[in-house]
Amino acid sequence: MAMVSPSQVIEYLERYIDYYQKEYARFTAPPPKGGGYPRILSSPYIDGGDLDCYLARDGAVILSEVDPPHEWYIAGGPAFVVDTERTQTPPWVLVRQKALGLEASTPKGLYRLALPRVPEQVWSGQLGSPEKTVSRVVNANRITVYKYRHDWQELIRRLTFGAFELALDLHLPAKVADYWRTRRIHNLGFLTADRNNRRFVRYGELLRHVDQAAWEPRSAWARAHVDLRMHFTHAVADAGNGLGAIEIPHEQVPIGRFADRLTALELATSELEKLLRLPDAPESVFHELLVRSPVLLDAYGDVESKPRWRYPPGESPTGKSYVEPDFVIARQNQTYRLVEIERPDHQFATRGPGHPTAAVTHAAFQIGEWKDYINHHYDKLKKTYPNIAGNISTAIVISRSQQKQFGTTGANRYISVARQQLGVDEILTWDDLLERAKTMVRQLTSLSDSIHVGSG
């Protein structure tokens, strides 16, 4: 079989990116024209950026590298640290970790891989001079293809400084494997213990085939259609499990984890519906339900309850020592939602003039405090919430849709006016929250009918 050339790789990727973006636009468009799924994916195929493809004699690697805003190679990672049995970690790393308040026993998000010996070319990540290099700007992507004489495993070893295929066996597929059964990497760092060599992979693919048939541009539409659904399924299944991931070789589509999340959402939706039928249920019962089942707030993100954000001494505008959002929702594409909840029996509007009640204005003021904290103290948040500054939306959950004080035009019109006055992106009643949960159940059930494609 003839091997694909660097120019043919670029032609294929150009076609694939175009189809992927069009499919994503349709997938996330509101019904009836689209599927109505949220725009949660983070991918160079959507967001653009540099995309490097390394062609070996019997395989290929695609990488998109972007350094996180924190010192990921000191603490936080997530990353694999390649080391020797006698550690190569320099003293300054330990000093820096201590300055960050991290003791020796504190988990740091760095996973040490100690080896008896690491070849110099692997330790340094030296690839040598490529046989050929071709580069092209395609829309928001700069695609560069490098062709090397290395075999695929050696290429992977050097790109990961020995973490893969020297320390860790990825059970790479054989040449007879189906096309495009790739091993994907998401938000994962690789470095040597001496900190002289490192790279952070925002997105990567380990591709088994380099024959021309596997890179036929006319088949790119079919791969984009299947890949988008697999990527979305992984994002849902892995929500709440951290940002770094390596796809498990025998679980190309995580059917088990996806099904578990869907089942949890169905059960929580049913429980919320029953609670809303009870008179005078305390706010704590509803908050506890959301803590136990945060999937109710967002099945597509990582939901954190009551993180405590402390002010530096003397810097609080209200004299508080900290602020504490009810919930922070983080999605894969580094967008965030701050949610304040109030009891369903709290009235939204007053009798007579129909102005927002104190419960509503207090909730809006708290959201204002959270936003002010983010604007002035991003340095304290950027490690845990990368890019949260400028990438937040806000929501209040309160009251019931049938409240009489909403007036003759109904809740939606009244809430739209209040939202503009209070500077909150979204105000939901508990009935709205229930309906959204039911919508998520329908969406994920529909998606589950197709996620067996590509599994095995």
235 and 265 part of one domain: no
Report the SS3 class of residue 426. strand
Alpha carbons 159 and 73: distance in angstroms, whole number: 16
pLDDT at 456 exceeding the cut of 50: no
Q: Pick the residue with more confidence: 51 or 226?
A: 51
The answer to whether the CB of 411 falls within 8 A of the CB of 354 is no
245 and 276 part of one domain: no
238 and 293 part of one domain: no
Alpha carbons 221 and 351: distance in angstroms, whole number: 57
pLDDT at 440 exceeding the cut of 80: yes
Q: What crossing angle do the helices spanning 430-448 and 255-275 adopt, rounded to 10°?
A: 150
The answer to whether the CB of 112 falls within 8 A of the CB of 191 is no
* Residue 300 falls inside a structural domain: yes
Alpha carbons 363 and 353: distance in angstroms, whole number: 20
Closest CA to 185 of 200, 197, 171, 168: 200
51 and 198 part of one domain: yes
Query: What pLDDT is attached to residue 55?
Result: 98
261 and 247 part of one domain: no
277 and 363 part of one domain: yes
Report the SS3 class of residue 450. coil
Confidence of residue 402 (pLDDT cuts 50, 70, 90): low
Alpha carbons 74 and 60: distance in angstroms, whole number: 30
Alpha carbons 32 and 40: distance in angstroms, whole number: 20
Query: What pLDDT is attached to residue 404?
Result: 54
Q: Which helix (H) or strand (E) holds 114?
A: strand 110-115
> Residues near 393 by Cβ (< 8 Å), separated by ≥ 6?
335, 336, 337, 338, 425, 426
The mean pLDDT value of the chain amounts to: 89
Query: What pLDDT is attached to residue 230?
Result: 86
pLDDT at 439 exceeding the cut of 90: yes
Query: What pLDDT is attached to residue 454?
Result: 43
List the domain range (segments joined by +) for residue 375: 257-444
> Residues near 362 by Cβ (< 8 Å), separated by ≥ 6?
none
What's the half-sphere exposure (Cβ side, CA atoms, 13 Å) at 32?
A: 0
Alpha carbons 275 and 285: distance in angstroms, whole number: 9
Confidence of residue 452 (pLDDT cuts 50, 70, 90): low
108 and 186 part of one domain: yes
What's the half-sphere exposure (Cβ side, CA atoms, 13 Å) at 208?
A: 15
Q: How many domains does the chain have?
A: 2
* Residue 456 falls inside a structural domain: no
309 and 230 part of one domain: no
* Residue 398 falls inside a structural domain: yes
pLDDT at 219 exceeding the cut of 70: yes
Per the DSSP assignment, residues forming a β-bridge with 375 are none
Sheet with strand 302-305: strands edge to edge: 302-305, 327-330, 336-341, 392-397, 426-428
Transcribe 260-285 into DSSP letters: HHHHHHHHHHHHHHHHTTSTT--HHH
What tokens were used for 208? Answer: 């088994």
Q: 245-246 and 183-192 as β-strands: parallel, antiparallel, unpaired?
A: antiparallel
Q: What is the CATH number of the domain that holds 352?
A: 3.40.91
Q: Last residue of some domain: 228, 252, 276?
A: 252
Tens digits of residue pLDDT in 302-357: 999 999 999 999 999 999 999 999 999 999 888 999 999 988 877 777 665 567 88
232 and 211 part of one domain: yes
Report the SS3 class of residue 137. strand
* Residue 449 falls inside a structural domain: no
270 and 241 part of one domain: no
What is the CB neighbour count within 10 angstroms for residue 236? Answer: 26
* Residue 452 falls inside a structural domain: no
What is the mean pLDDT of the segment spanning 227-249? 74
The answer to whether the CB of 259 falls within 8 A of the CB of 253 is no
What is the mean pLDDT of the segment spanning 67-83? 92
* Residue 454 falls inside a structural domain: no
268 and 241 part of one domain: no
> Residue 394 is which amino acid?
T
Confidence of residue 420 (pLDDT cuts 50, 70, 90): confident
Confidence of residue 185 (pLDDT cuts 50, 70, 90): very high
Q: Last residue of some domain: 252, 280, 304?
A: 252
Q: Last residue of some domain: 233, 252, 271?
A: 252
What is the mean pLDDT of the segment spanning 71-86? 94
pLDDT at 406 exceeding the cut of 70: no
